[in-house]
Amino acid sequence: MTPKIPKGLVDADAGLVSREAFTSDEIYAAEVSRIFDRTWIYLGHESEIPNAGDYVTRQLGSAPVIVARTPAGAVQAVLNSCRHRGPKLCRDEAGRATNFVCPYHGWSYANDGRLITTTFDHHFPQDTDFSQFNLVKVPRLEIKFGLIFGSWNTDVVPLEDYLNDMGWYLEAFFARTPLGMEVLSPPHRWQVAANWKIGALNFIGDSQHIGTTHIGPLTLDAVRSAREGFTQAGQDSFQVVTKQGHGCTLTYLAPGMPEKNYNTHDAGPSTLFRDHLSDDQMNMLHHLRVCVGNVFPNLSFIETQVAPGEKAVILRLWQPTGARSMEVLSWVFAEREADEAYKESVLRKGFHNFGAAGVFEQDDMELWISATDASNNPIAAQYPYSFHTSLPYQDTQDNTYGWPGRAYRPSDTEVAQFEFMREWDRRLQGGEEADILAAAQ
């Protein structure tokens, strides 16, 4: 039984979103069943489990899973719960194992989920089919650009269709060299008393918070781009929205900035891009100062300069743990082909800005907690959040470059954020990926 969800949480004509979307336990329960247990959710990156037997433990929707590389080299995910009486088979965050033995009564499973023995097989009824006790396999698992996604929904659309136009951008960030990207350290993880959607909205297109929330790192030039460059770049930037509720904001450096700031400078891993990407993707990367985006529902990314000639790609998962709480996971990536010194520098600087002690993150978290706290009461609930700066721009696409997705200028409006909320509302009201794809075509 899924709870009844009131209509009108998102008022598309008025540019309003109910605060209860960010605070209500009932709405959260519906999000879990209609979004997180239905659609594609990010599980991890292939480079986190490079060898046979490597695994990481993650969350897929409402359930804990083990994501492992089997002896045959395939990536597979299983429910991390013993079929006998339920404990987690694996309580480590990561490791390597050929099998998992339940610490409760000793049921043991191969790394691919197959039951090896219950230890007491001889006490079972004679004709027991033990294969019925194999670990519950995540029914849908697909990998695109090294990014591993899973879904509990056997009928979910293929991942490529799900990512649709956003895949073109993800390819340019995660598959731009022959070997692709590599995770540089285990994820930073932190809990925060805020609704997960605040994170998704923050990344899909919240240019309006940069100058206030992040006045500190901007003033101090924490990302090492000349202040003048950033200001000029702000004039050449736009939002992209795609089907399924994905989106991103691209911000470019103005012409005339030092060439070493660009993704197409003549040293380091970017020299490999040209042979691996289309001309349009190269044009998209050329002069790109920063791209921040979100794959619906809760996978965000940043592609940003962290020092002259150094680019970090960061992935961020907003993993809900309740209506008003989430755990955040943050990974830093660099091209596999890059040398160790480059990777170390990208890791250090990437996390300086966007890690568990990141100079950008600390101020974001303070305000997300504050927003959740101050909205979670019956008085505040009567006054919906404003997304009004999306309204005048919704029908004014500006596809100057002709790249995938729908582009909107300027970048400092709430078009992408409001599109995310409308997509969220469609799904909460019972819409499925297939319906949404069909309607959009």
Give yes or no for residue 186 binding another protein (CB under 8 A).
yes
CA 20 to chain centroid: 23
Q: How far apart are CA 292 and CA 203, in angstroms?
A: 6
Task: Determine which residue in the list 189, 227, 274, 388 makes contact with another protein, applying CB under 8 A.
Answer: 189
Task: Determine which residue in the list 14, 74, 215, 439 makes contact with another protein, applying CB under 8 A.
Answer: 215
Give yes or no for residue 190 binding another protein (CB under 8 A).
yes
Task: Determine which residue in the list 349, 390, 414, 433 makes contact with another protein, applying CB under 8 A.
Answer: 349
* x/- map, 84-103, another protein, by CB under 8 A: -------xxxxx--------
Shorter beta-carbon distance to another protein: residue 271 or 370: 370
Give yes or no for residue 363 binding another protein (CB under 8 A).
yes
Q: How far is the CB of 90 from another protein (least distance, A)?
A: 9
Task: Count other C-beta atoms under 10 Å from residue 145's C-beta.
Answer: 17
Tokens 């709430």, residue located: 414
Q: Which of these ranges, 41-49, 59-67, 211-219, 382-390, lies near another protein under the rule CB under 8 A?
A: 211-219
Task: Determine which residue in the list 205, 268, 358, 405 makes contact with another protein, applying CB under 8 A.
Answer: 358
Give yes or no for residue 435 binding another protein (CB under 8 A).
no
Shorter beta-carbon distance to another protein: residue 137 or 209: 209
Q: Which of residues 296-315 bind another protein (CB under 8 A)?
A: none
Residues 318/298, Cβ–Cβ less than 8 Å: yes
Q: How far is the CB of 103 from another protein (least distance, A)?
A: 10
DSSP 43-81: EEEGGGS-STTEEEEEEETTEEEEEEE-TTS-EEEEESS
Which DSSP letter does residue 186 get?
S
State how beta strands 10-11 and 16-17 pair.
antiparallel
Q: How far is the CB of 317 from another protein (least distance, A)?
A: 13
Q: Which of these ranges, 20-28, 125-133, 153-161, 356-364, lies near another protein under the rule CB under 8 A?
A: 356-364
Give yes or no for residue 266 binding another protein (CB under 8 A).
no
- Show the tokens assigned to 132: 């019925």
229 three-class SS: helix
Q: How far is the CB of 364 from another protein (least distance, A)?
A: 8
Q: How far apart are CA 158 and CA 148, in angstroms?
A: 13
DSSP 295-356: ETTTEEEEEEEEETTEEEEEEEEEEEEETTEEEEEEEEEEETTS-HHHHHHHHHHHHHHHST
* x/- map, 371-390, another protein, by CB under 8 A: --x-----------------
Query: Phi, psi at residue 289, to the nearest 5°?
Result: -85, -50
Residues 20/383, Cβ–Cβ less than 8 Å: no
- Kind and range of the H or E run holding 415: helix 415-428
Residues 151/143, Cβ–Cβ less than 8 Å: no
Residues 76/141, Cβ–Cβ less than 8 Å: yes
> Which residues have a Cβ under 8 Å from the Cβ of 210 and sit 6 or more positions away?
218
Shorter beta-carbon distance to another protein: residue 19 or 34: 19
Give yes or no for residue 217 binding another protein (CB under 8 A).
yes
Give yes or no for residue 45 binding another protein (CB under 8 A).
no
R_g of the chain, CA atoms, integer Å: 22
Q: How far is the CB of 343 from another protein (least distance, A)?
A: 13
Task: Determine which residue in the list 188, 311, 316, 324 makes contact with another protein, applying CB under 8 A.
Answer: 188
* Chain residues that interact with another protein, rule: CB under 8 A: 91-95, 185-186, 188-193, 213, 215-217, 219-220, 222, 327, 347-349, 351-352, 355-359, 361-363, 365-367, 369-370, 373
